[in-house]
């Protein structure tokens, strides 16, 4: 199958390109330098040239706090550009797999979020991603909107790398314990996106790591698996004073039996640390 991957230079995009190639597909990889997804003519030219049977859109404005000060820029990439890409997919007869986020929810539910739950984003970033979902849904393209959570993977900055760096500089870190989600390894998500293309699946899909934790617990598990001596104390989101509000509990699960399931978040962390060459303990091992 011919697959076009946008945002191919990012953490998820790189893994999607690799997963699609491993599965035997012909991949056209377009990073930001090769394709500005906000340029309609550029998108039309790339789609016309690649003649894809499927498009996986990993391009995104991901600066959650930055979006609060520049919502139009975030919406241009996460909202309008997603719609342009979806309409190009419709014209080409291609399936569009569009990656979205748990931040389209307000995090006030006491249970896990499923696909049919109402959205209510708290932040400019969340609103921009919801705008993208709505544009894709209205485009007329065959599509799958894949919401995921707390991504980490190789080839860029992420929470795991930040924690490992800080642990090398400090003996103790304060990490928030009042935000709960599903830390998701891109090396696990990417093959699932390829499976969605292959089957194909459509509609809204929640694809995130199994299990859930707070950022605080995630940090503690990073240090445990990486065998680093750094203590983690609890802090609150209010203590950070970040510009963008975050959902307190945005755990994603799927209500559809055919949606791909991912391994537990601790297994994703273990796989990531092994891939980057860090000494790591198994998820269930005792220190």
How far from the centroid of its chain's Cα atoms is residue 211's Cα?
A: 16
Burial of 23 (0-12, 13-18, 19+ CB in 10 A): middle
How far is 90 from 3, CA to CA, in rounded Å?
Answer: 14
- Name residues whose C-beta falls within 8 Å of residue 27's C-beta, 6 or more positions apart in sequence: 3, 4, 5, 17, 20, 21
Cα→Cα distances 101→132, 208, 252, Å: 11, 10, 10
The structure tokens listed for 174 are 């304060």
| Count of residues in the chain | 287
Q: Is 125 a catalytic residue?
A: yes
How far is 163 from 266, CA to CA, in rounded Å?
Answer: 15
The structure tokens listed for 30 are 């377009």
The structure tokens listed for 177 are 């314990």
How far is 56 from 209, CA to CA, in rounded Å?
Answer: 19
The owner of tokens 């642990």 is: 167
81 with 38: CB under 8 angstroms? Answer: yes
How far is 158 from 58, CA to CA, in rounded Å?
Answer: 16
**Active-site residue identified among 61, 103, 113, 125:** 125
How far is 144 from 127, CA to CA, in rounded Å?
Answer: 19
Q: Would you please indicate which residues are annotated as catalytic (active-site) residues?
A: 125
């Amino acid at each position: 199958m011919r697959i076009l991957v946008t945002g191919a230079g990012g953490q998820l995009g790189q893994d999607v390109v690799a997963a699609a190639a491993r599965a035997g597909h012909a991949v056209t990889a377009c990073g930001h330098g090769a394709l500005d997804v906000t340029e309609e003519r550029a998108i039309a030219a790339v789609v016309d040239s690649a003649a894809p049977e499927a498009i996986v859109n990993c391009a995104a404005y991901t600066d959650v706090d930055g979006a609060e000060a520049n919502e139009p820029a975030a919406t241009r990439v996460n909202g309008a550009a997603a719609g342009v890409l979806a309409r190009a997919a419709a014209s080409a007869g291609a399936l569009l797999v569009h990656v979205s986020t748990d931040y389209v929810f307000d995090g006030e539910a006491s249970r896990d979020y499923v696909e049919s739950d109402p959205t209510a984003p708290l932040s400019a970033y969340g609103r921009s991603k919801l705008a993208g979902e709505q544009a894709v849904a209205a485009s007329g393209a065959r599509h799958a909107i894949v919401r995921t959570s707390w991504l980490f993977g190789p080839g860029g900055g992420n929470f795991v790398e930040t924690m490992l760096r800080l642990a090398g500089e400090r003996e103790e870190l304060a990490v928030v314990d009042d935000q709960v989600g599903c830390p998701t390894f891109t090396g696990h998500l990417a093959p699932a996106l390829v499976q969605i293309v292959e089957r194909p699946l459509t509609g809204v899909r929640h694809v995130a790591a199994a299990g859930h934790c707070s950022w605080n617990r995630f940090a503690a598990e990073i240090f445990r698996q990486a065998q680093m001596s750094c203590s983690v104390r609890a802090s609150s989101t209010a203590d950070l004073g970040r510009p963008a509000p975050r959902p307190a509990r945005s755990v994603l699960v799927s209500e559809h039996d055919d949606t791909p399931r991912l391994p537990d978040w601790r297994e994703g962390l273990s796989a990531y640390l092994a891939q980057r060459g860090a000494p790591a303990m198994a998820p269930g091992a005792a220190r």
